[in-house]
Amino acid sequence: MAVAVNESLQQLKQLDEKISAFSSILSLAGWDQKVKAPKKGRSTFAKSMGAVSTEVFKMSISPELGEALEELTKPEVYETLDEKDQALVRDYNHNYTRSKSIPTDLFQEYSVLTGEANQAWEEARANNDFASYQPYLEKMVDFKRKFAEYYGYEDHPYDALMDAFEPGLKVKDIDPIFRDLRESSINLLERIQNSGTKMDRSFLEKNYDTKTQEEFLHNLLPKLGYDTEAGRLDATAHPFAQKVNIGDVRITTRYDEDNLSFALFSTIHEVGHALYEQGVREDLEGTGLNGGTSLGIHESQSRFLENMVGRTPEFWQAHYSDLQETFPEQLKDVSREDFYHAVNSVQPSFIRVEADELTYNLHIMIRYEIEKGLIAGDIEVKDLPRVWNEKMEEYLGIVPDNDSVGVLQDVHWSFGAIGYFHTYSLGNLYSAQILNTIQKEIPGFYEQIAQGDLTQIREWLREKIHQHGSIYQPSQLIEMVTGEKLNSDYLVNYLEEKYSKLYNLK
Amino acid sequence: MAVAVNESLQQLKQLDEKISAFSSILSLAGWDQKVKAPKKGRSTFAKSMGAVSTEVFKMSISPELGEALEELTKPEVYETLDEKDQALVRDYNHNYTRSKSIPTDLFQEYSVLTGEANQAWEEARANNDFASYQPYLEKMVDFKRKFAEYYGYEDHPYDALMDAFEPGLKVKDIDPIFRDLRESSINLLERIQNSGTKMDRSFLEKNYDTKTQEEFLHNLLPKLGYDTEAGRLDATAHPFAQKVNIGDVRITTRYDEDNLSFALFSTIHEVGHALYEQGVREDLEGTGLNGGTSLGIHESQSRFLENMVGRTPEFWQAHYSDLQETFPEQLKDVSREDFYHAVNSVQPSFIRVEADELTYNLHIMIRYEIEKGLIAGDIEVKDLPRVWNEKMEEYLGIVPDNDSVGVLQDVHWSFGAIGYFHTYSLGNLYSAQILNTIQKEIPGFYEQIAQGDLTQIREWLREKIHQHGSIYQPSQLIEMVTGEKLNSDYLVNYLEEKYSKLYNLK
């Protein structure tokens, strides 16, 4: 390699090391503020975190980084780099180019707006008052439309926004896949509702001591493959997984006294995220490649563990007697099959985060279509409550009583996350593709789950997906793992098969 | 103010704001690693913290800071600044001048040594093998003697080292004070041992459920004046207090099943530290002045609450019945007076951190005299085990069985903290002076303690000491508060009076 290349690579790696160190500490700090920090210190601490974040941002758009990237992205240079260095250059360049493309003044105005819009949203939701939030959201959409122009795109301006969250996937890829999934889901939902079969979920809402739930879950963690010496489980209002480094991936859940399934399945979900981060190759530690490659692939790992493993009859063949012994009073008259049915029941509801496995994607479709229309200029912000409710009626057959449980329910738009929602359904699509492959490669897949042994399954996921961190782009990775591009077939078939059995459909 | 002054002040304040933000986050990160972090992530995280600390160090010796300080320390400029800005200039300049005075190469060699010496100490202590640690400690002392020359001093090279921990106090100030305290303490100890009175402490070593201890202490915290919405109490191997910001001051303790007094008094001690940090004026938040002014003054606050409040008969008048109700089995036959005697019993012992209120200072004297001798060249490292044991015999009348519980017991020297130990006894001296003053200014001092109401006492400490953060130097502050310079009279009298009563001495 020429001297200039070597020097540029060194420069990039030094900056990367520093940015990674700062980010790791900010990640820990973020966890602490949600999980442990006392109330009175938080607003001051937010400023301290802001000051450190600003330094990270400055490094990520610094002239030093720009110079290094200019050299390293020359095609004749780039092709001489190894896979890992190429990935590092690719990711830093993606981020640098996007950040640099927005004029500083515009970005500052936008930053101010996100703070204001977030507060306006909180109040609007609390007061069921979309009109008070509307001007903020209008400004937000205007910014995002401008940003899309600055970022640049080929076909659809929305592509430029989605690219921040799931690099490479465009409207023209997603539209046909989502259409298939939407049509088949609506059809399946109709058949389920007409089947006459009703699942009894009432016993899940008995009184379940939260300390006992906590103990049960702490015992379950290692059985799910989670390394408890490289993480911890705490309680928070909203469950999440947070990586500090490969040896420290923390998860949280919420314990509801009158809801057994929430903590249970949200914990399995977060463990799915955590296995990804705990499984990254050691040599990626301390670099920008040491995390999952995209939101969609990340969600595929959480959904895989939650639904494709955690909601199977085989999983409860392994664990139901433990659960029953833990809550003998509440579950003594509940058979394993009843329990399995209850945690898989389908019921259209207003709130996305409470939706079942089938209707969840329909909630996402509504958001995807609305965002796409807003950015294209086909939908206006003022019409959102109406559009929202029409789509709810069309897809789910129900209309929310008010906007607080309708168009105002999600925080995302208020802090500028437009182009994000579709990654949740991508996760479901990817996970079904992965399920199809893993069943072929591990013929005893369901037997092992039934025996309570997820070792081989975790090792397979680690080898095929987790270890690579961010080296491969999501589209590359899914093709490497499954031999196919993203498509709707596997999820559509999986849902059809699963619910046909559960609801005795023809 | 001239433009140059204004600009320099702006420059200093901008750097200060950034350094303070970074330090706050590092402080939280340090807390987390000791209290919450899972095992496997810690070594990687230490590197991340190292990277951020390096940035803080770079800022603290940066040319920008140097330029600003050059302008602001000009006498004709300095005198025009307000009290707060003067203090900021004073502290940054103190630190900058000291850091800059050590040649970079020498400092790097020293940094390497601290890592090695710390590991060597750990092994030496575990194996009771001073000889293996000796070469490291010899190098450490050599470095410190060189540093003292670089820092500069008037009378004694040890002054230059102590200045890092308790600015302004010199050997010539401390020697006579420590001599008085040492002589009177040895004399008092002898009389106690000859008194024939023995305190029964055995009931403190019954089985005390740790969860129940924890609950009792959580209930005690607000009664001590600790703001539980601006901090938290956790369990760790070694108790400590850590400030993240004024609204977030965390403390820890250790719960021993067979030792009731350890968690109790270590918690009251750490609350003393925490009240100081929680009580700093809001306008100092986010600046380098937002913490206690020195180790000695800090220790005075912890010792004051632990000993002058927490070990008084009045304190247990207020709280003993609660404690007895909490542990009815263990304490049913123990009167309040027996309890008060037990937690104030005097017994020479080998380990500093386990020493009682009287003998504690003698442990400190040994270390102070040895350090002073090492730096002056009057004592050689190879002779330390002998010198240590001789002083133990002379002051405490006991000789440790081995070096692990003798000269090897403390971590401090291994990481270069020479000139630190004396601040522990300064804390005791300051606290007795403060006690004398507060009793005059709050005539109902002991009545209020007996009523379990520390409100006025905390407010007095806040007004006189806590609120000022680091604005005043320790010597300035103690004179402002008590009207006198640091002296030994009050502690000597306090100990004499306390133990004469307890042990019926003549």
What is the distance between the alpha carbons of residues B298 and B426, in angstroms, rounded to a whole number?
10
CB-based contact, B506 to chain A, within 8 Å: no
A22 CB neighbours in chain B (<8 A) are 48, 51-52
CA A21 to chain B, closest CA, distance in angstroms equals 4
Ordered strands of the A248-253 beta sheet? A233-235, A248-253, A241-245
A37, A229, A245: residue with CB nearest B45 = A245
A281 CB neighbours in chain B (<8 A) are none
Tell me how far CA of residue A2 lies from CA of A47, A68, A89, B100, in angstroms: 43, 13, 17, 38
Q: What's the whole-number mean pLDDT along residues A324-333?
A: 97
A21, A40, A230: residue with CB nearest B52 = A21
A29, A44, A248: residue with CB nearest B41 = A248
Which residue's structure tokens are 């909601």? A311
Predicted confidence (pLDDT) at residue A497 exceeds the cutoff of 80: yes
What is the distance between the alpha carbons of residues B368 and B366, in angstroms, rounded to a whole number?
6
Query: What element of type H or E holds A235?
Result: strand A233-235
Which 269-298 residues of chain A touch chain B by CB within 8 A?
285-286
Determine whether the interchain pair A41/B245 forms a contact, defined as Cβ–Cβ distance below 8 Å.
yes
Tell me how far CA of residue B88 lies from CA of A215, B21, B27, B404, B415, in angstroms: 50, 16, 20, 42, 27
CA A77 to chain B, closest CA, distance in angstroms equals 30
> What pLDDT does residue A4 have?
87
The one-character DSSP state at A307 is I
Does residue B253 sit in helix, strand or coil? strand
B22 CB neighbours in chain A (<8 A) are 48, 51-52
Q: B493 near B501, Cβ under 8 Å?
A: no
- Cα nearest neighbour of B282 on chain A: A44
Return the closest-CA partner of residue A225 out of A278, A266, A185, A177. A278
> What pLDDT does residue B3 have?
73
What is the distance between the alpha carbons of residues B106 and B102, in angstroms, rounded to a whole number?
7
- Cα nearest neighbour of A284 on chain B: B44
> What pLDDT does residue A2 have?
67
CA A418 to chain B, closest CA, distance in angstroms equals 30
CB-based contact, B45 to chain A, within 8 Å: yes
What is the distance between the alpha carbons of residues A343 and A261, in angstroms, rounded to a whole number?
7
Determine whether the interchain pair B286/A52 forms a contact, defined as Cβ–Cβ distance below 8 Å.
no
Determine whether the interchain pair A38/B228 forms a contact, defined as Cβ–Cβ distance below 8 Å.
yes
CA B44 to chain A, closest CA, distance in angstroms equals 7
> What pLDDT does residue B506 have?
76
Determine whether the interchain pair B45/A286 forms a contact, defined as Cβ–Cβ distance below 8 Å.
no
Determine whether the interchain pair B36/A232 forms a contact, defined as Cβ–Cβ distance below 8 Å.
yes
B55, B231, B245: residue with CB nearest A44 = B245
A28, A246, A286: residue with CB nearest B29 = A28
Predicted confidence (pLDDT) at residue A156 exceeds the cutoff of 90: yes
Pairwise pLDDT comparison (B108 vs A363), residue with the higher score: A363
CA B316 to chain A, closest CA, distance in angstroms equals 29
- Cα nearest neighbour of A228 on chain B: B38
A22, A37, A244: residue with CB nearest B52 = A22
What is the distance between the alpha carbons of residues B372 and B145, in angstroms, rounded to a whole number?
11
**Pair type for strands A241-245 and A248-253:** antiparallel
Query: What element of type H or E holds B320?
Result: helix B313-326
- Cα nearest neighbour of B26 on chain A: A25
Count of beta carbons in the 10 Å neighbourhood of residue B436: 17
Determine whether the interchain pair B51/A17 forms a contact, defined as Cβ–Cβ distance below 8 Å.
yes
Indicate which residues of B carry an active-site annotation: 270
Number of DSSP helices (H) and strands (E) in chain A, helices first: 22, 3
B230 CB neighbours in chain A (<8 A) are 38-41
A36, A45, A50: residue with CB nearest B232 = A36
> What pLDDT does residue A506 have?
76
CA B441 to chain A, closest CA, distance in angstroms equals 31
What is the distance between the alpha carbons of residues B231 and B248, in angstroms, rounded to a whole number?
5
Phi-psi region of A371 (alpha: psi -120 to 50; beta: other; left: phi over 0): alpha
CB-based contact, A211 to chain B, within 8 Å: no
Determine whether the interchain pair B38/A229 forms a contact, defined as Cβ–Cβ distance below 8 Å.
yes
* DSSP codes of every residue in A17-52: HHHHHHHHHHHHHHHHHHHT--GGGHHHHHHHHHHH
Q: Is B205 annotated as a binding residue?
A: no
Instruction: State the binding site of A.
Output: 269, 273, 299
Query: What element of type H or E holds B243?
Result: strand B241-245
The one-character DSSP state at B259 is B
Count of beta carbons in the 10 Å neighbourhood of residue A37: 21
Phi-psi region of B225 (alpha: psi -120 to 50; beta: other; left: phi over 0): left
What is the distance between the alpha carbons of residues A211 and B420, in angstroms, rounded to a whole number?
45
Instruction: State the binding site of A for Zn(2+).
Output: 269, 273, 299
Per residue in A372-388, pLDDT (tens digit) is 999 999 999 999 999 99
Predicted confidence (pLDDT) at residue A3 exceeds the cutoff of 80: no
Written as six digits, the tokens of A225 are 């493959």
Strand extents, DSSP E, A79-231: none
Return the closest-CA partner of residue A51 out of B60, B47, B15. B15
Tell me what the pLDDT averaged over chain A comes to: 97
Q: B5 near B72, Cβ under 8 Å?
A: yes
Interface probe, candidates A53, A246, A248, A285, chain B, greatest B C-beta count within 10 A: A248
A22, A48, A247: residue with CB nearest B41 = A247
CB-based contact, B135 to chain A, within 8 Å: no
A55 CB neighbours in chain B (<8 A) are 18, 55
CA A18 to chain B, closest CA, distance in angstroms equals 7
> What pLDDT does residue B1 have?
56
B250 CB neighbours in chain A (<8 A) are 38
What is the distance between the alpha carbons of residues B368 and B373, in angstroms, rounded to a whole number?
9
Q: Tell me phi and psi for residue B291, to 5 degrees.
A: -130, 170
The pLDDT tens digits along chain B (506 residues) read 567 899 999 999 999 999 999 999 999 999 999 999 999 999 999 999 999 999 999 999 999 999 999 999 999 999 999 999 999 999 999 999 999 999 999 999 999 999 899 999 999 999 999 999 999 999 999 999 999 999 999 999 999 999 999 999 999 999 999 999 999 999 999 999 999 999 999 999 999 999 999 999 999 999 999 999 999 999 999 999 999 999 999 999 999 999 999 999 999 999 999 999 999 999 999 999 999 999 999 999 999 999 999 999 999 999 999 999 999 999 999 999 999 999 999 999 999 999 999 999 999 999 999 999 999 999 999 999 999 999 999 999 999 999 999 999 999 999 999 999 999 999 999 999 999 999 999 999 999 999 999 999 999 999 999 999 999 999 999 999 999 999 999 999 999 999 999 999 97
Per residue in A424-437, pLDDT (tens digit) is 999 999 999 999 99
Task: Name, in order, each residue with C-beta under 8 angstroms of B2's C-beta and a sequence gap of 6 or more.
Answer: none
What is the distance between the alpha carbons of residues A158 and A151, in angstroms, rounded to a whole number?
11
ipTM of the complex in this document: 0.92
B44 CB neighbours in chain A (<8 A) are 24, 245-248, 285-286
Q: What's the whole-number mean pLDDT along residues A434-451?
A: 98
Determine whether the interchain pair B28/A26 forms a contact, defined as Cβ–Cβ distance below 8 Å.
no
Does residue A256 sit in helix, strand or coil? strand
Per residue in A274-300, pLDDT (tens digit) is 999 999 999 999 999 999 999 999 999
Which residue's structure tokens are 């329910």? A409
Tell me how far CA of residue B145 lies from CA of B98, B140, B335, B374, in angstroms: 14, 9, 54, 9
B25, B42, B49: residue with CB nearest A49 = B25
CA B282 to chain A, closest CA, distance in angstroms equals 11
Predicted confidence (pLDDT) at residue A146 exceeds the cutoff of 90: yes
Determine whether the interchain pair B230/A47 forms a contact, defined as Cβ–Cβ distance below 8 Å.
no
Determine whether the interchain pair B20/A48 forms a contact, defined as Cβ–Cβ distance below 8 Å.
yes
> What pLDDT does residue B195 have?
95
CA A8 to chain B, closest CA, distance in angstroms equals 21
Determine whether the interchain pair B244/A45 forms a contact, defined as Cβ–Cβ distance below 8 Å.
yes
Determine whether the interchain pair B245/A18 forms a contact, defined as Cβ–Cβ distance below 8 Å.
no
Which 420-479 residues of chain B touch chain A by CB within 8 A?
none
Determine whether the interchain pair A22/B286 forms a contact, defined as Cβ–Cβ distance below 8 Å.
no
Size of interface A-B (CB pairs under 8 A): 137
B285 CB neighbours in chain A (<8 A) are 44
